[in-house]
Structure 1
Amino acid sequence: MIRRACATLAATWVALCGPAWSDTLADRMQGVLDEVRQDYGFPGATAAIALPDGQVVTVASGLADIEAAIPMTPQTRMLAASIGKSFVAMTALSLEAEGLLDRADLVSDHLGHHDWYSDLPNHATMTVGDLMRHEAGLPDHVHLALFQAEMAARMAAGAAAIPPEEAIAFLAGADPLFPAGQGWAYSDTGYLLLGLVIEAASDSAYYDLVAARLLRPLGLTATTPSDRPRLPDLAVGYVAEGNPFGLPTRTMDADGALLWDPGMEWTGGGLVSTSRDLASWGHALFGGNALDTPYLDQLLDGIPVAPEAPDIRYGAGVAIYADTPRGAVYGHGGWIPGYVSSLRHYADPGVTVAFQINTDIGIADDGTDLVPTLEAALADLALSLVGAADR
C-alpha cells in the first residue's frame, strides 16, 4: 500500500508541485516551528518534511548555542537517540536476508559463550526477534539507579563511555519482567545485546555495517556514529538542573565537545543526524527502499505494547500506530540528555515528518506536551498541503 500511494502521488508532484510550491511549504513550516518555539520556550529546533516524491523541505528556528548566540540551521546536527534503533533492526534484517542470522535464533546461539551471558534474565529462552521487538522481558539498564550513579561518576571524572558488555552487566542476577516472548517492555539493554548479536553473526563492527548497508547507499551523509564527545556541527544540548545523570545544564564545553561520552549509547541509538537525513531515512525505510530485498512484512510485524492499546504495536525497531485520525503512522522517537528527536511516516499519502530539539527540559519527565503538539502541527500542515496538491 505504501509503495502504491507514493508512486501515484509522485506523478502528481511532478505535474503540480515545483519550486514555488516547496517555498510555500517552507514558509508555512517556518511559521509553525517559530510559533511552537515561542509558545514552549525551547532554545532551537530543525524540522523536515519528505514529500511523496522524495523531495525534502527543511527549516530551522532559534539557537544552536544560546551562550554564543549561534543560530540553528538546517545543517545543524543533534543526537538522534533511539531513532537509531530502526537502523540497528534494519541492519539485522539485512543479515537475515543473507542467511547470517534469523529472528528465531536463540540469543544464546550467538552470545552464550560469554561468561556474563548466563547471568542475564531469560538468557536461555530469548530470541533475536524478542530483542528487536522489546519482548525479551529485560529491564532497561538506563533507568537503574546504580547505572545512573556510575554514569554520573564517570562524567564527573571525564572518563570514557561505559562499554556495552559492562552496561549489560547491570542486569546480572535481575529477575525477568516476564517470560521471553510473552509481553512487551522497552529495553535499551536488549538493543545492546542485539548489537553484539549483529557483530557476532557478521564478524564485522556494527558501525561499519550500518554505514556500508544503509547510510552510504541512501546518501545519508549527515548521519554518523555518535561515538565520541566531539561531533562536528553538533548543537549544544540543554538539560534541567538536578537531572539523573548529574550533568550541568549546558552539556557542551566552550570548545564544542560534549561533557560526557555519547558512545555509551551504541546500538541503543548511537547516531548523530539532521532532520533532513531522518526524514529521508523514513521515506526510504517505510517506502520499502532501504534494502534491495523485500523487508516491509518483517519490519511491520509488530506486537501490542499494552493490552489496552491493541492498535499501538512495536515492530523491528519501529513503532506502529495502526489507527489514528491521520491514518496509519510509523516511526520512532528519540531522547538522550539534551536532545529530543521525532520521526513519523504517514502511510497514506506517504509523507514523512522529522524534527530535532536541543533540549530535553520538560520532555524527559513528561512535563510538557511539546513533542505531540509539534508532531501534530507539522503533520496537519503537510497532509493538508499534500491533499490540496492531489486535488
Structure 2
Amino acid sequence: MVLSASMTSVAAQAETAALRDLLEDFRAQYGFPGATTAIALPDGEIVTAATGLADVEAGIPMAPDTRMLAASIGKTFVAATVLSIASEGILEEDDLLADHLGDRVWFGRLPNAATITVGNLLHHTSGLPDHVHMGAFGAELARRLASASDALTPEGAIAFVLDSEPLFAPGDGWAYTDTGFLLLGLALEEALGETYYGAVTERFLVPLGLTDTLPSNDRTISGLAVGYTVPDNPFGMPPRTMDDSGALVWDPAMEWTGGGFASTSRDLAAWGQALFTGNAMEAPYLDRLLDAVPVAPDAPGILYGTGVAINADTPRGPVYGHGGWIPGYVSSLRHYADPGVMVAFQINTDVGIVDDSTDLVPALEAALADLAVGFLRGLETR
C-alpha cells in the first residue's frame, strides 16, 4: 500500500501526540521539572516530544531540541572511537595501557599499572577504584565550586586513585570506574596525536549529522536546560545547578571522557540507532562492541560490552545502551534489538533518581519501549 504524504503526516502527528501524552502523564505522576524523549524507528523516522519546563524559575518550556548533559552516555562515543582507530591499527584492545601512558611520572602509582589493558578499561574490568565516589574528590569539587575554580584536569582527577589498593587483578572482576575512561581519553589522544573531541567530531558527529551534540567543556552551553539536584548533595552544589546568567555553577569539563557531551534526545536516539545497527562507521565493529563480560555472578544476563551496557534477556529480547547521571540531569539510551527500535530520554533533575527512591527511570523506559513497538506496528500497516 502506498500512502500519500498527508496520510503519512497524520500518522506522524498521532505518534508525536501519543509520545507527548505519555511524557505528560509521567510528569504528572512523578513531578519532575521537564523531560524530552525520542524514538527512532528502523525506517529512519525519529519521533520526538517534550514536556514541562527547561527553567522552572523563568517559566521557559522544555522543547524537543533543548539540550541536557548526557553524562555517561558519552562513554559510547569513547568506545566507538577506540573501535574506529583499532580498525586502523592505531590502538588495540589488547594493548597494555603502559605502552601508551607508561612515561607519565605518576603512572607507576596507578593500581594494576603494569597489567591493565585498553580492553580492561573499556569493560570496567581494570580493578581501578572510581574517583567520583571518593570522599576526597567530593570535598575537592565542593571547594572548587565555592571558589568558582576551573575543572580538575583529567590527570588531576586520576590522582585521587593513585597509591590505592586495586579492587582486583585486571580481568578478575567488574567495577564501574570513570577513572578508567579518563585514562582511555589520555591513551586515545596519545595514540592519535589530536584531541579526543576533535576525533569524535570528525569521525561521528559530522558524518552522522549530530548537530545538536556538543562537548560539555564550558560552563555556558547553548540551549542547555537548567538542571535541578538534591539539596545537601555531597558536592556542595545548590539545588539549581545554573546561575541567572545561564552558566553552570560548576565546570563540566571535569567529566571529559567519563561522559563529556551535551545533547538532545533526538541526537542520542539517532546516535544509538546508528551505533547498534552497525552503521556508525564503515569498518565492521558490532561483534567487538557487544563482546561483553558479566557485571555480577548472580546476574548472568546483565553484561557490559565495549563501553555499552547489555541486558541479554528481557521480554523484548536483548537491550543495548547506557544510562547517564550527573548532578541535575538523568539520561537513558536503550536499543531494543529484536524490534529494532531506539529509545532515548533526558530529564532535568536527579531528585528521587540518584538515590533510587522512585522507579521513574525503569518505568519510563518500559513505557517508551511499549509505545515504540506500537509505533513500529503502525509503520508496518501503513
* TM bracket, shorter-chain basis: over 0.9
Once the two structures are superposed, the pairs formed by residues 27-176 of structure 1 within 5 Å of their partners are 27-176=17-166
Do residues 285 (structure 1) and 245 (structure 2) align? Answer: no
The whole-number CA distance in structure 2 between the counterparts of 1:79 and 1:389 is 32
For 1:322, the equivalent position in structure 2 comes to: 312
The whole-number CA distance in structure 2 between the counterparts of 1:186 and 1:387 is 37
Runs of 5+ consecutive residues of structure 1 not aligned to the other structure: 1-10
Do residues 25 (structure 1) and 20 (structure 2) align? Answer: no
Do residues 181 (structure 1) and 171 (structure 2) align? Answer: yes
Equivalent in 339, 342, 345 of residue 332 of structure 2: 342
For 2:220, the equivalent position in structure 1 comes to: 230
The whole-number CA distance in structure 2 between the counterparts of 1:302 and 1:242 is 37
Cα distance change of structure 1 residues 28 and 117 upon mapping to structure 2, 3 Å threshold: same
Letter in 1 for 2:218: R
Do residues 211 (structure 1) and 201 (structure 2) align? Answer: yes
The whole-number CA distance in structure 2 between the counterparts of 1:222 and 1:92 is 23
Tell me how far 1:19 sits from its aligned partner.
Answer: 2.2
The whole-number CA distance in structure 2 between the counterparts of 1:342 and 1:50 is 14
Tell me how far 1:253 sits from its aligned partner.
Answer: 0.7
- SS of the equivalent of 2:233 reads coil
Tell me how far 1:126 sits from its aligned partner.
Answer: 0.7
- SS of the equivalent of 1:106 reads coil
Runs of 5+ consecutive residues of structure 2 not aligned to the other structure: none
Cα distance change of structure 1 residues 14 and 111 upon mapping to structure 2, 3 Å threshold: farther
Equivalent pairs, count: 381
**How does the TM-score come out when normalised to structure 2?**
0.97
Cα distance change of structure 1 residues 120 and 17 upon mapping to structure 2, 3 Å threshold: farther
Tell me how far 1:386 sits from its aligned partner.
Answer: 1.3
- SS of the equivalent of 1:64 reads strand
- SS of the equivalent of 1:18 reads helix
Once the two structures are superposed, the pairs formed by residues 373-388 of structure 1 within 5 Å of their partners are 373-388=363-378
**Any conservation in 2 of the 1:80–1:340 contact (CA below 8 Å)?**
yes
The whole-number CA distance in structure 1 between the counterparts of 2:379 and 2:262 is 33
**Any conservation in 2 of the 1:17–1:389 contact (CA below 8 Å)?**
no
The whole-number CA distance in structure 2 between the counterparts of 1:174 and 1:213 is 36
Tell me how far 1:390 sits from its aligned partner.
Answer: 3.0
For 1:244, the equivalent position in structure 2 comes to: 234
**How does the TM-score come out when normalised to structure 1?**
0.95
The whole-number CA distance in structure 1 between the counterparts of 2:45 and 2:284 is 23
Percentage of identical aligned residues = 61
The whole-number CA distance in structure 1 between the counterparts of 2:335 and 2:72 is 16
Tell me how far 1:385 sits from its aligned partner.
Answer: 2.9
The whole-number CA distance in structure 2 between the counterparts of 1:354 and 1:70 is 22
The whole-number CA distance in structure 1 between the counterparts of 2:210 and 2:79 is 17
State the superposition RMSD in angstroms: 1.6
For 2:347, the equivalent position in structure 1 comes to: 357
